[in-house]
Every structure is written in C-alpha cells, then in structure tokens.
A and B are shown apart, each in its own frame.
Chain A
Amino acid sequence: MTLLEVRDLSVTFTRSGQQPVRAVDGVTFDVAAGQSVGIVGESGSGKSVTSLAVMGLLPSRGVSVGGTVTLDGNELTSMDQRELRDVRGRDVAMIFQDPMTSLNPVVTNGKQLVEVLTRHAGLSKGEAKTEAEQLLRRVGIPDPVRRLGEYPHQLSGGMRQRVMIAIAIACRPKLLIADEPTTALDVTIQAQILDLLRTLVAESGCGMIMITHDLGVVAGLCDDVHVMYSGRIVESAGTKDLFARPSHPYTDGLLQSIPRIDDDDPADLLHTIPGSARDTVAWDRGCAFQPRCERAVAECLSGPPAVTELGTPIVPHPVRCLRPVGEDVSLHEGNVAR
C-alpha cells in the first residue's frame, strides 16, 4: 500500500530584486510501507529541499511550494503549522546529517527523548523515562541509564546519531526521512548506523526516504532509487535495475566515475563527467544536463525533455532523456534528421 504520495512537487525561492530560483521542479514519487526509497544527487540537486518540503519545514517567507504531498490519505501541503506539528514527530520523523547541530546542546539526551514521548505519545514522565531507556537500548547504546543523564557533547558522533535515531523512532512513525545520516561519520560507524536503520525498517514496517550522495549506500539499503539533477528527477528505477541498466547519461557517467574498492584491475584514469553542476540550462529551455552530456544533440535544447519509459507498467524505469544510454542511437538520430 502506498504510504506517501508526492505529486508534482515544486519549490521556488524568491528574493526581491533577484530572479526566482526553482530548486525543485515536478518531483513525483511514492513510498510504500516497509519500503526504503533512495533519493540520490549531488550538492544543489534539490534532494534536501525535497525532504524539507515533504516535512513542511521550509520557511513560508520567500518560498513557494507547489504540488501535493499525501501521507496515509492526509494531504500535508494543505495543513496549517499547528496540524503539521502533530504530524511531525508522530507520523513522520527526520534524521539529519549532523546530530551535533540538530540535538539541543544544553538539554540532556534523556530530556530530549522524554519530550517527544510526552508531547506526541501522551506518556507520563515516569513512563516516558522507562520508554526512553528501552529506546536507547534498541538503537544499541550501552549503559543507557547513564547516557540519558548526559549531554550530546559527551557522546561520540556515532552515539549521537543513535540518540537522534532513537528520538526519530520514539513514536513509531509511519515514515522516516534520513537526510545524509552517515555523511559525517567514519566508514565503520557508517556501517553500524546503516545496519541499524535496515533492522529498524524491517522490524517496524515503516517507510523510509534515504537522501544521500553516495550510490554505495543506496545499493546496500534501498529498494527504489530516484536520481536527481538540477531540481528534477532524471531517472527512477528499482535499485537492482538501476545499477544493472543505468540509462540516463548522468547516472551512467556517475557510476562509471566512482572508483570502486573491489575493482582488482583499475583503469589508469577514471571516467569523468566534464564540467560542473554550474554548467546548466533551465529545464524549460531544454535538458539541464545537456552542457555536460556526451550524447547530447541539438534536439536536447528544444524544450523540456520528455520522459521515456524503459520499464514495464509493473516494473517502471522512467528516464528524463531523449537519448537514454543503451537505446538504439541510430533510431534517435533518424528522429533528429526528420
């Protein structure tokens, strides 16, 4: 069953005297219960803004949000801030990249956990304390009673992220949004946290949105992947399908340019995508990736590129590209000539 439906989400930032910036444009995806969905992109691709828009966490001034976000049949985009506050923490919870800035440094870990439980789950203080201890144990923190009385700075980065996760799962949310939850952590600690998230999703049956720049994290954790570039989803597919058959030139180039730890016979030079994300085209003029694309033709700059469906109705694999990788090139060249 579909838990979260995001339809045609767009976010535009406006500043007086400057051109409005469309950070997210026409983003559509679903998350089912018990499913992990990855949103992959580089800095500036709009992946974090997407997650903030889903949570309703963007400021109201200077930001206009379009499209709809529906969680379990309730439309979040039409709710006011008071209703949203009840949804956040109870139905949707978020884990941020840097727990040191998202945990309150002058409040003990215990108090921050208890606050969520009394506010949303309606527990008494005593019950909440027992529950908080259980939660810390569940996320793998040894000696939870001592840790509850300590402050965030007394914990290591990995422990802090565990406390953050404990707060997020405190009210058994239906949807967990993790925004680069392991980027600030070392690889061995990253492996611990990813393992924990995997277990939590499997046990609780909640849906998860994993926002990351690391395709390796996606490969190990997610069921579905959406690749974002310059504010739009350019390719969506099941994880195995996407890695077996990357079809957008950007996805394909990205996968080829990552050095792999298990590559026993590495080529001398890595494959590169030329230019940088600054070399872009507005989507309504053409494909934003066109200036960096090896497969680009003149047609790529004639209006927003159409979506090509490479999958089946049951296993969809849409690609926002006129000349997807692996498709018959001559056919498209024929089109151009005509």
Chain B
Amino acid sequence: MSLLEVRDLEVHFPIKAGTLFQRTVGAVKAVDGVDLDIEAGTTFGLVGESGCGKSTLGRAIMRLIEPTKGSVTLDGQDILALSERRMRAVRRQFQMVFQDPMASLDPRQSVESLLTEPLRAHKIPGGAAGHAKRIRELLDVVGLPESVVNRYPHEFSGGQRQRLGIARALVLNPALIIADEPVSALDVSIQAQVINLLKELQERFSLTYVVIAHDLAVVRHISKTVAVMYLGGIVEQAPAADLYRQPLHPYTKALMSAVPVPDPNVEGSRSRILLQGDLPSPANPPTGCRFHTRCPWKQATKCDTERPALRELPLVAPGHKVACHFAEDILSGTITPHEVKPEEVALTPAADDTSGIEAAADATEAHVAGGLTPGGPPGAH
C-alpha cells in the first residue's frame, strides 16, 4: 500500500488587478492536476526546472501551502480535510529538509534549543533530561559530535549545517521526509557526504523520502521512482533506471541531454537536443500539451488542442508512464524531430509576467465584450 497518495492536486495562485477593489483576473497554475503514489520506505524523486511547480507541490503535500483542489492521503488519512488542530498532530509524521540550512535554522538559537524545539512544540513526553538524551543520540546519528550542542548555526560549515537540518527533521521520528533541494547549496565534495547520509538514515529508520531537486544525476542516484515536471504537471514517471535509460517524453529527452557529464569523451560524442526559448508563463500556459510550443517532435494535430494524460505504456515499457500523445511513435522512430525556430517559441516568454497577466486580462475582457456585442463572434472585427 502506498504511504502517500495524491490525487488531482491543484495549486492555483490568483492574480489580482485593480487598486481598491481587487478582482481576480487570472491564476498562476503552479500545480495543475498531479497524481502521486509513494510507497513506504522508498525514495520518490521529483525533478524539473525552476518554475515547474516542484517546490509548490512539495509544500502543498505538507499543507504549508493550501491546495485549491484535490486530495492528499497519508497512511489512509485525508489530511486536506483535517482541522488546523488535528493537522498539527499529523505534522509529526512528515517533516521537511530545506535547501539552505542557513536560512531555515534560526541564527539566534543554539543547537540544543533548535533540536529540542520540535519536541517541546509537540509536547513529547520525557522532560528536559529525556529531550537532551534524544538530541544527543540524533547528533550522533547524523555524524556530529555531542559537543556541538551549545554552538550556533553560523559556527558550522555548509555540510554540517545541512546535517543539523536533517537532525531537526528526524527529531520527531517521522515516516515521511520531504527534502527540497537538500544538496544544491553545498559544494561538490560535501554533496556526496549528505547524499550518503540520507541513504543510510533511510535504511536505518525505514524512512520514506520525496526528494525535490533540479540535479538529475543526484536524483537518479537516490531515487527508486522519478517523476519529471513541466509547467505544473507531471510529464513522465518511471523507475529511475528505466527513465534514465530510455526517456520517452520529448521534454525528458531534452532535459537529460542538457545535463553536462564529467567526461570529455562522452561530451564530445553524444547528441544534444537544444530547446529553444524559455519556460512559458504558468499564468497563461499553452493550450493542449504544455510543452508543444518548444517540442521538436510536435505534430500538426492533437498537440496544441488536447492535453495528454499521464498514461502507462504496457507493451513498450511496463511501469513507465508518459504524458505524450505520440510517445510510441517517437520511440519507434516513425516521428522524427524537426527544428524549432526561436521566433515560434518567443511568443509567451516566462519573464513577461506582466504581459502574460495583461494577456489574461485582455482575454477575459474580450470574452465579455464578445458576449455583449450582438452579432458576430469575438474578434470578428
């Protein structure tokens, strides 16, 4: 049975306009219809580029951001239906490890105070002596000496601070840990130490991880299952080895080919799929398949009108889900990639948020105008 089940989760942030009477003119669709099943004791990797909604999804699962639609079931309990008070109790079961431990650890609290705070907040029995014993055990578990309890976060190196962040997440004995970019702020030689620590802790305490990261190599290394997000939706999901050996979605293919490999022989010989342009604005996402504006495999039909569902390909690749209308044809080679011109993509750049909002506003107004104008469809002039 899955420890965590997410169904049709949506997080839409409203876009407001007007100074006095704020009206909603559109929504940033940060997460737009995501289903997840995460098995207990495994690691689920969530990858994607900035702005794809991976962090929002992670926070929505923890209810740090209130989802606008959908359900999150942890251990058979629908946590979105819980009251604020009941939710606090359930929060003990899942904890978060953040990217930058310097920002997530209070600089004015000592290690002792930082680590006992969760115990005190959740009124864990044991008293001061019990708590002190518990945190000393934990420091040992994450590889820090007991003597650090009276020190402050600034006295530690980046890797040690992240160990503290992990210790703090472990204090309450959670079942699920959501780690948002746990190693990306660390130096290369320190990253490996923290990745190994996460793996060892998983084995020791049978933890379940959701690891959110942009580094595909790190995610491959620690995950059992990996999902790739693009513009609020999951475009592909598969066991890690299958996904990396044979990516099926055009976006995944491009993403993987863009990751530099530390080997000049590989770098010199492999083919690269260079995507044109930037991520479109999530306030005004492309119709149909979200990726069709930049897709080198885009077809004349379906791609720009119908949003593909995440579906399994039982014949070609069992257990491998992909959201592409033409995945089979791309795999078999009946469809070949074509060149995408930068001009075609540049119509809806992500940074043009203002114009995106204007466009959304224009669209609603045009719609209203069209409805009010007798005779002729909107835009007939």
- Give me the interface of A with B, judged by CB distance under 8 Å: 42-43, 140, 142-143, 153-159, 186-192, 194-195, 213-220, 239-240, 243, 253-255, 257-264, 266, 268-274, 276-278
Contact = CB atoms under 8 A, between A and B. Distances in A.
A258 B216 CA distance: 12
Contacts of B266: 219, 262
Nearest to B260: A216
Given A187-B214, A188-B255, A191-B258, A258 B188 contact: yes
A189 B278 contact: yes
A262 B187 contact: no
A137 to B, nearest CB: 10
Interface string B255-268: 11111111111111
Given A159-B351, A220-B267, A272 B196 contact: yes
Given A217-B260, A270-B195, A278-B157, A43 B220 contact: no
B264 A240 contact: yes
B346 A142 contact: yes
Given A261-B220, A262-B266, A213 B188 contact: yes
Nearest to A195: B274
B216 A156 contact: no
B196 A269 contact: yes
A244 to B, nearest CB: 8
Contacts of A270: 192, 195-196, 221
7 contacts: A156-B351, A194-B260, A213-B187, A261-B256, A264-B245, A269-B200, A272-B192
Nearest to B195: A270
B250 to A, nearest CB: 12
B335 interface: no
Given A142-B342, A143-B346, A278-B157, A42 B189 contact: yes
A48 B124 CA distance: 48
A159 to B, nearest CB: 7
A159 B261 contact: no
B278 A266 contact: no
B49 A216 contact: no
B223 to A, nearest CB: 11
B50 to A, nearest CB: 6
B193 interface: yes
B49 A186 contact: yes
Interface of B: 49-50, 157-160, 187-193, 195-196, 199-200, 214, 216-218, 220-221, 241, 244-245, 254-268, 272, 274-275, 277-279, 342-343, 345-346, 349-352, 354
Contact of B263 (A43, A219, A268, A271): A219
Contacts of B199: 268-269
A259 B217 contact: yes
B189 A219 contact: no
Given A142-B345, A262-B266, A276-B158, 7 more contacts: A143-B343, A187-B258, A218-B262, A243-B264, A257-B191, A259-B221, A264-B245
Contacts of A262: 244, 261, 266
Contacts of B354: 154
A276 B260 contact: no
* Most B-side CB within 10 Å, residue of A189, A215, A218, A261: A261
A271 B342 CA distance: 42
A94 B221 CA distance: 35
- Top 7 A-B residue pairs of the complex, sorted by shortest distance between their CB atoms: A216-B260, A156-B351, A191-B258, A257-B192, A220-B267, A186-B49, A259-B221
A30 to B, nearest CB: 20
Nearest to B272: A191
Given A155-B351, A259-B218, A269-B199, A220 B265 contact: no
B241 A264 contact: yes
B255 A259 contact: no
Contacts of A158: 278
* Most B-side CB within 10 Å, residue of A195, A214, A260, A264: A260
B259 A187 contact: yes
A159 B272 contact: no
A276 B162 CA distance: 13
Contact of B221 (A189, A192, A266): A266
B77 to A, nearest CB: 33
Contacts of B189: 42, 253-254, 257, 272-273, 276-277
A260 B354 CA distance: 39
Contacts of B191: 257
A257 B188 contact: yes
B262 A219 contact: yes
Given A217-B260, A260-B262, A276-B157, A156 B267 contact: no
A220 B352 CA distance: 32
A261 to B, nearest CB: 4
A54 to B, nearest CB: 23
A259 to B, nearest CB: 4
Contacts of B187: 42-43, 213, 276-277
B220 A187 contact: no
Given A42-B188, A142-B342, A215 B49 contact: no
Nearest to A218: B262
A42 B272 CA distance: 27
A219 B217 contact: no
A206 to B, nearest CB: 21
* Most B-side CB within 10 Å, residue of A153, A194, A216: A216
Contacts of A268: 199
Given A188-B258, A272-B192, A276-B159, A260 B217 contact: yes
A154 B352 contact: yes
Contacts of A156: 278-279, 349-351
* Most A-side CB within 10 Å, residue of B188, B214, B349: B188
